[in-house]
Structure 1
Amino acid sequence: MEKPSQSVIDAHAHCGVIDRSWPQSFADYARQAAGTDIKGVAVFSPVMEIYDRHDYAFVDTPAWQQRRRESNAHLLSLASEPMTIYPYFFIWNDFAVDQLTSAHCGIKWHRHHGEPVYAYDDPRCRLALDEIRRRRLPVVLEEELENTIRFIRDLAVGITVIIPHLGLLNGGFQLIAAAGLWNQENVWADTALADREEIQEYIRSYGHHRLMFGSDFPFGDPYAELDKIRRLNLVPAVEAAVLGGNFIRLQARVHRL
């Protein structure tokens, strides 16, 4: 893969130290990204460091709350790495926005079908979103389609929402398009594991200004995912925006409180 001088930012990677089910430490990421021109990465905690995704009836406990604190704090500790780290806070049903710091660059909001559900009707959810809105933090939202639509249209008005994988796990690219979400100025997307044809269709239909490169490490290979974007033969200005420029522009909006 040709390596031009432009620095690339990976907008979607999972790195942790508690869940050992995958090789997913930052050191593992750095090894996979070696040989690329990736110079920065947005990192999220692995799901199993946040809640038990295999237990639909999962009930939160102080032990899981401590696990979340440790996991989110670990991402903040990566600031000394030579690669620029953009830590995202993985939020769960305690809606612990009191743990947000000026170093946090965004929010990870995640669940799949069959997993424990977010308490969207809990008053603390609205209060947490108010704080996220105040800090102007982007939210990477991976949810079922119905909840994705509700979140964007009702709960997260005024918040930038990033739909990962071009919607692959949020109901699919086309259903999100049919719901009119891609047209909304506060709805962005990342390319992690997305289909090449859908990436091209997104750019043709909605432009490139709200699209960011992502790898979905450890489920995606940073080298291969970056190569996928480069093989689209995008015009240089579009490629530069997708591979890092858009991410930097989005981060410039964040209030460092």
Structure 2
Amino acid sequence: MVKDKVKTPPAVIDAHAHCGIIDRGWPQSYPAYARHAATTDIGGAALFSPVAEIYDRYDAGFADTPAWRLRRKESNAYLLSLKPAEMTVYPYFFIWNDFAVEQLSAAHCGIKWHRHDDEPVYHYDDPRCRAALDEIRRRRLPVVLEEEFDHTVRFIRELAHGITVIIPHLGMLNGGFRSIAEAGLWAQENVWADTALADRTEIREYIRTYGHGRLMFGSDFPFGDPASELQKVRSLKLEPAIEAAVLGGNFIRLQACVNYR
């Protein structure tokens, strides 16, 4: 009997990319991402649904509807359907105020938790939010948290005990790199970061101050170009072991902690 071959994890993984086909505002389907990544050695990508497929970000008083719940379900399902030969896809579940963790499957690799300060708010005091966090904690799924500063601090200090939280863009849209540092969040062992659209100077400072073990390369496609963002990290001329960890090793190590049940 011939055993199935275990697929070797890719050396370079984009830990932050948006991908969907419902929102036509940007070319952001998987084929669009693959075209941008084709000139690189990116072999894997953590993919999130586009915001416009999850809620109406332009309506601060947004009220959820069955149609929007269906839209979210279809958007998250699209990522689960992607099994390209040339790329390892790591689908993340984009959660909203229905906190529909019953839709999580063994294929999900993480959670996307996202809003900006002029957008509809998460209902953090809803009992369903705490229940969802309990399930995320049980599954040991990392959470990519893009929130305004005060909510970021509350989420990490009060709500996310035992959960790995990834602050994208080195905090650029969570209040800024320095605000996150002054709050002491970067120093917490459960707080990670990605490099998507981050400044080179801040990437260097983060590594110098906090080490490289909780930092991951990301592109923020379609808002960032995978090739350009990858070159940005490589232009830092990091030691080979550090570069390898940031470009993919740390992501693989984090995924190894996930409970796929």
1:174-198 CA-partner distances (Å, limit 9, x unpaired): 0000000000000000000000000
Whichever residue aligns with residue 61 of structure 1, its letter is T
Instruction: Tell me the TM-score normalized by structure 2.
Output: 0.96
Pairing of 1:95-106 with structure 2 (within 5 A): 95-106=99-110
Identity %: 76
What SS class does the counterpart of residue 135 from structure 2 fall into? helix
Candidates 218, 238, 244, aligned match of 2:248: 244
Deviation of 1:35 (Å): 1.4
Instruction: Tell me the TM-score normalized by structure 1.
Output: 0.97
Is 2:13 aligned against 1:9? yes
Q: Distance in 2 between matches of 1:166 and 1:49?
A: 25
Deviation of 1:80 (Å): 3.9
Q: Distance in 1 between matches of 2:184 and 2:136?
A: 24
1:3 maps to what in 2? none
What SS class does the counterpart of residue 203 from structure 1 fall into? helix
After superposing on structure 2, the runs of 4+ consecutive aligned residues of structure 1 that deviate more than 2 Å are 79-82
2:6 maps to what in 1? none
Q: Distance in 2 between matches of 1:174 and 1:51?
A: 30
Q: Distance in 2 between matches of 1:35 and 1:98?
A: 38
Q: Distance in 2 between matches of 1:215 and 1:22?
A: 15
Pairing of 1:36-185 with structure 2 (within 5 A): 36-185=40-189
Candidates 205, 216, 221, aligned match of 1:212: 216
1:119-176 CA-partner distances (Å, limit 9, x unpaired): 0000000000000000000000000000000000000111000000000000000000
What SS class does the counterpart of residue 86 from structure 1 fall into? strand
Q: Distance in 2 between matches of 1:8 and 1:82?
A: 13
Aligned length: 252
- Tell me, which stretches of 5 or more residues in structure 2 are unaligned? 1-9
What SS class does the counterpart of residue 20 from structure 1 fall into? coil
Deviation of 1:82 (Å): 2.5
Whichever residue aligns with residue 158 of structure 1, its letter is G
Deviation of 1:41 (Å): 0.1
Candidates 221, 239, 261, aligned match of 1:235: 239
Q: Distance in 1 between matches of 2:164 and 2:200?
A: 24
Is 2:42 aligned against 1:18? no
1:253 maps to what in 2? 257
Q: Distance in 1 between matches of 2:27 and 2:58?
A: 20
Whichever residue aligns with residue 116 of structure 1, its letter is P
Deviation of 1:81 (Å): 4.3
Whichever residue aligns with residue 43 of structure 1, its letter is L
Q: Distance in 2 between matches of 1:80 and 1:229?
A: 26
Question: Structure 1 residues 81, 71: CA separation in 2 closer, same or farther (over 3 Å shift)?
Answer: farther
1:33-92 CA-partner distances (Å, limit 9, x unpaired): 111000000000000000000000000000000000000000000024420000000000
Whichever residue aligns with residue 167 of structure 2, its letter is I
- Tell me, which stretches of 5 or more residues in structure 1 are unaligned? 1-5
